Amino acid sequence: MPSSAPVAAADGRLLDIRDLRVEYLTPRGPVVAVDGVSFSIAPGEVFGLAGESGCGKSTIAHAILRTLRPPAVITGGEVLFRGRDALDLEGAELEAFRWKDVSMVFQSALNSLNPVMRVSDQIADVLIRHEGVSRQAAHARAGELLDTVGIARNRLHAFPHELSGGMRQRVVIAIALALRPPLMIMDEPTTALDVVVQKDILQQIGDLKAEMGFSILFITHDLSLMVEFSDRIGVMYAGKL
């Protein structure tokens, strides 16, 4: 069993968000973007977060990972991960939480690869930096990870611009999987792709999840995709769930 096999808190929850509140302090006054939201995710579960554009989905994702930028402020609530409040983490603990406990595939994932670095180096760097493995071992793992997400190993040394949009998105998912985090947050992970590629990638993520046992917070405004892919769904409207 991998060392990061999902372990839940004593109450059986991996992630437990309680009464989360986030405001954007704009010059025209505070805007409440997340207004007392609570939900939990069990190990191995896909929790779908749906709702129209602007209702606060991405703000929740960034609040969990603590990647919100000013003028956003978390004004209340708890983000319990295995029973511990992630809002209290700092320094090395926060860094470990962001990479090893939770990984994120952003809405803009297609642009989140470094255009001047080979795909192999981008994956290997994550492994070298966070697991301290040798460059050689990291490259071997990078090849395995690309296999896992359905990319032929002969593309290992490609640059991002040499790959299709769907392949680039698979690379981003491979990077998110590299450290075997028990929770993946996917914010509109396939929105920029055509429908056939979308289904194919989600199918593959579903297979990987079944094999590795991680949980997913799956964010999309596409309800039919969400229903197909999620175990449970929360629908947001104007900051409330």
Between residues 31 and 210, which has the closer beta carbon with respect to ligand ADP? 31
Q: How far is the CB of 54 from Mg ion (least distance, A)?
A: 8
> Looking at beta carbons, which residue is closest to Mg ion?
58
Which of Mg ion, ligand ADP, none binds 138 (CB below 5-8 Å, type-dependent)? none
Q: How far is the CB of 18 from Mg ion (least distance, A)?
A: 22
55 vs 146 by CB, closer to ligand ADP? 55
Closer of 45 and 187 to Mg ion (Cβ): 187
Q: Could you tell which of ligand ADP, Mg ion, none binds residue 119, using a CB distance below 5 to 8 A set by kind?
A: none
Smallest separation (angstroms) from ligand ADP to the CB of 104: 13
Residue 83 binds which of ligand ADP, Mg ion, none (CB < 5-8 A, kind-dependent): none
Element counts in the chain: helices (H) and strands (E): 7, 9
**Helix/strand/coil (H/E/C) assignment for every residue in 189-210:** CCCCCCHHHHHHHHHHHHHHHH
Binding site for ligand ADP (CB under 6 A): 24, 26, 31, 33, 51, 53-59, 71
| Chain Cα centroid distance, residue 42 | 16
Which residue lies nearer to Mg ion by CB, 52 or 228? 52
The Cα 181–Cα 98 span in angstroms is 9
CB of 43 to Mg ion, least distance (A): 25
Minimum distance from residue 222 beta carbon to Mg ion (Å): 12
Tell me the C-alpha distance between 62 and 102, whole Å.
11
If contact means CB under 5 to 8 A according to the sort of partner, which of Mg ion, ligand ADP, none does residue 71 touch?
A: ligand ADP
Among 38, 177, 11, 184, CA closest to 106: 184
From the list Mg ion, ligand ADP, none, pick the one residue 39 interacts with, judged by a Cβ distance below 5 to 8 Å according to partner type. Answer: none
Give the span between the Cα atoms of 31 and 71, in whole angstroms: 10
- Interface residues with Mg ion (CB under 5 A)? 57-58
**In contact, 205 and 216? CB cutoff 8 Å:** yes
Q: Any residues with CB less than 8 A from the CB of 112 and at least 6 apart, and which?
A: 106, 172
Q: Left if phi > 0, otherwise alpha if psi is -120 to 50, otherwise beta: which for 63?
A: alpha
